Amino acid sequence: MPELPEVETLKAQLAQVLPGKIIKEIQICSQKNWQGDPQAASGFQIVDVSRRGKSLIIHLSKLETRNSKLSLVIHLKMTGQLIFEPHGEGDPSHLKHRLAGGHPTADFINQLPSKHTRVIIYFTDGSVLYFNDQRKFGWVKLIPTGQIDQVKFLDRLGPEPWDFTETKWQQIIHSSKKPIKLRLMDQEQISGIGNIYANDALWVAKIDPRRPASSLTPQESKNLRQAVIQVLEEGIKFGGATAQDGKYVDLKGLGGHYQEHFKAYQREGQPCLRHDGGTINRVSLGGRGTFWCPVCQK
């Protein structure tokens, strides 16, 4: 489910509770969504949690075996979710409730494991991390940290959105005739931008998502980079987008609130927030819902 801001939010939350935990056992419920030997992780301690594009990386090490290092690389795709269940009173993370992120479903608050649970990581202190995914598109890979750059998917990722020089940005925008929205979402060019933030960034930059990327003027490209960074930072500020209706958000303070600040995404038929008389239109681009205001986005 998540795009960069959602994964970043999840990373920040997990980084507060996972470091120091020692893996007791990893249980694979769905072979399709797992890669690696789960037994190899036993006794490894979590060092830290990081993010690359839309993927989450949990770093592990084990002093007993010459300080060897492993990493869990996780991609939630459309409907993945990670839920951390503290084991109770004595948990050093001092969490009262579970911590949940990713695609919002009833599993956030229901009994776990559920029928959507694909991987379960048990820690020695009794706490548990669940990887759920109803559509089974997501995956978890356990690999030696030294080989992390060779992981298929990670090896082809473009730079993070804020790591571009103006020159490089202009180059990737102008070197394709694909609709600009699809260019923004191309992970091999820029990592982390998905459908929500691509729609909203184009609205902020006042650019029609259907235009060929190569047709943007240098000034429009420049504005677009600003817009992308703006909406991503806004997404991170609000803790990502988690639900349209707040159904699972408010119960225990789980989830983010960016969904309350959508600018164009999912606003079909509603008046443009610029109050310019335009109504948000919708078409399908690359099979994904594309939303824009025909009045201000040229």
Partner DNA sequence: TTAAATGTTTAAAT
Partner DNA sequence: CATTTAAACATTTA
Contacting residues toward DNA, per CB under 7 A:
1-3, 6, 32, 53-55, 75, 77-78, 103-106, 115, 134-137, 152-153, 156, 176-179, 182, 185, 187, 194-196, 240-244, 259, 265-266, 284, 286-289
Active-site residue among 2, 86, 179, 209?
A: 2
Active site residue 2: yes
- The residue among 16 and 214 lying less far from DNA, judged by its C-beta, is 214
Q: How far is CA 103 from CA 4, 70, 251, 268, in A?
A: 13, 26, 16, 22
Find the shortest distance in angstroms from Cβ 87 to DNA: 28
- The residue among 42 and 230 lying less far from DNA, judged by its C-beta, is 230
Active-site residue among 3, 6, 8, 85?
A: 3
Find the shortest distance in angstroms from Cβ 244 to DNA: 6
Find the shortest distance in angstroms from Cβ 46 to DNA: 23
Q: How far is CA 186 from CA 98, 217, 224, 249, in A?
A: 34, 20, 15, 30
Residue 193 burial (C-beta neighbours within 10 Å; 0-12, 13-18, 19+): buried
Find the shortest distance in angstroms from Cβ 53 to DNA: 6
Residue 165 burial (C-beta neighbours within 10 Å; 0-12, 13-18, 19+): exposed
Active-site residue among 69, 247, 252, 288?
A: 288
- The residue among 74 and 128 lying less far from DNA, judged by its C-beta, is 74
Find the shortest distance in angstroms from Cβ 295 to DNA: 21
- How far does the chain reach from its first CA to its final CA, in angstroms? 29
- The residue among 6 and 46 lying less far from DNA, judged by its C-beta, is 6
Residue 229 near residue 164 (C-beta atoms within 8 A): no
Active site residue 54: yes
Active site residue 98: no
Closest CA relative to residue 198, chosen from 282, 290, 111, 108: 290
- The residue among 105 and 127 lying less far from DNA, judged by its C-beta, is 105
Active-site residue among 21, 52, 54, 267?
A: 54
Positions annotated as catalytic residues are 2-3, 54, 288
